[in-house]
Structure 1
Amino acid sequence: METLLEDFISDEDLKTCEKLYNDELRRGIRNPKTKFDYAWCLIRSRYPADTRKGVLFMEDLFKNGDESARRDYVYYLAFGKCKLKEYSSANRYIKAFLEIEPSNRQAKELQEVIQKRITREGLAGAAIAGGIVAVVVGTAFALLKK
């Protein structure tokens, strides 16, 4: 799962999906499958702005799209939020998915990755905070000695 999160769609494939989506829009066609495919391509982009746009499309599909595809939308929302390092949102989406389908292996793997990243980010944040406190305390002691 880590590998998939670090794998990016080629610019050529992204442009192909974008062209298809925009061509359909110009012709007045609102095909949820095309929008889903384009959203998934955007989520897999190397550029965070594209990933954000893909997540927004996926959220729109979840709210207004085919009810029978909602589980897919929720999974890819979790995936996109994880790529954006929005781990608490990703965690909420993947938990919602696992409530519906608790034995889904891919979803369980994504949940593990999200949990690891939450822990890693928390440890990094604690280390930074600890470093800041050490600098402040050191500076205070230095000033007191003068």
Structure 2
Amino acid sequence: MEERVEAMLDSNVTNSELKLHTEKFNQAMRDGKCDVDTKFQYAVTLSRSRISADHHRAITLLEDLCVSGDPEAFRDYLFYLIIVNIKLHDYVRALECAKKFLEIEPSNRQVQDLKTYAEKKRFNTGMKGLAIVGGVALAAGALVMAFKNK
């Protein structure tokens, strides 16, 4: 399962492909003719970028599409929101999107795998945070004891 998810997350866009979609999107915006498909394709391209600023832009576009895009494609928008939020390590948001997606299509294996992956990452991140806090508290305690004994 984890290998499948990491393969989805590691699918990166080439610089030329990113440039092409950026130019197409920007031209459509300048012309006032940016349709739902152009916006979605650009968001998907940004979601496959290696640059986190592109991921944030993808989230903005995908969230806008969730509100104003094609209702029939809502689950597609959610799917890419899950992926981008995982890439940004926002596991809580990724899990919220996965929950909404699975309400629509409960048997979707890819989203179930993404949800499990995000849950595992969120747990591991929380455990690392606790370990750091515990280490800091231990070090502070040791310093207090060292000063007390002087």
TM-score category, normalised to shorter length: over 0.9
Partner of 1:130: 134
Partners of 1:140 and 1:8 in 2: CA distance? 50
- Aligned to 2:8, the other structure's residue is in SS state helix
Q: Give the whole-Å Cα distance in 1 for the aligned partners of 2:76 and 2:33.
A: 22
- 1:128, distance to aligned residue in structure 2 (A): 0.5
Q: Gaps (5+ residues) in structure 1?
A: none
The whole-number CA distance in structure 2 between the counterparts of 1:22 and 1:141 is 62
Q: Name the CA distance, whole Å, in 2 between partners of 1:64 and 1:38.
A: 16
Distance 2:11 2:132 in 1: 29
Quote the offset at 1:30 in angstroms: 2.1
| 1:93-128 deviation per Cα after TM superposition (whole angstroms, max 9, x unaligned) | 101101111100110111111011111101111111
Matched, 1:60 2:98: no
Counterparts of 1:24-35 in structure 2, within 5 Å, are 24-35=28-39
TM-score by length of 1: 0.96
Once the two structures are superposed, the pairs formed by residues 14-93 of structure 1 within 5 Å of their partners are 14-93=18-97
Whether the 8 Å CA contact 1:39–1:58 is kept in 2: the answer is yes
Conserved in 2, the CA contact under 8 Å of 1:8 and 1:46?
yes
**In structure 1, what is the equivalent of residue 12 of structure 2?**
8
Structure 2 residue matching 1:8: 3-state secondary structure: coil
Q: TM-score by structure 2 length?
A: 0.93
Kindly provide the CA deviation profile for residues 26-57 of structure 1, in whole angstroms up to 9, marking residues without a partner as x: 22212111100100111111111110001100
Unaligned stretches of 5+ residues in structure 2: none
CA contact (8 A) 1:2 1:113 kept: no
Q: Which amino acid aligns with 1:123?
A: M
Detail structure 1 runs of 4+ shifted over 4 Å in the superposition: none
Match of 1:115 in 2: 119
RMSD after superposition: 1.0
**What percentage of aligned pairs have identical amino acids?**
37
Greater shift, 132-141 or 17-26, is seen at 17-26
CA distance in 1, matches of 2:8, 2:71: 26
AA aligned to 2:142 is G
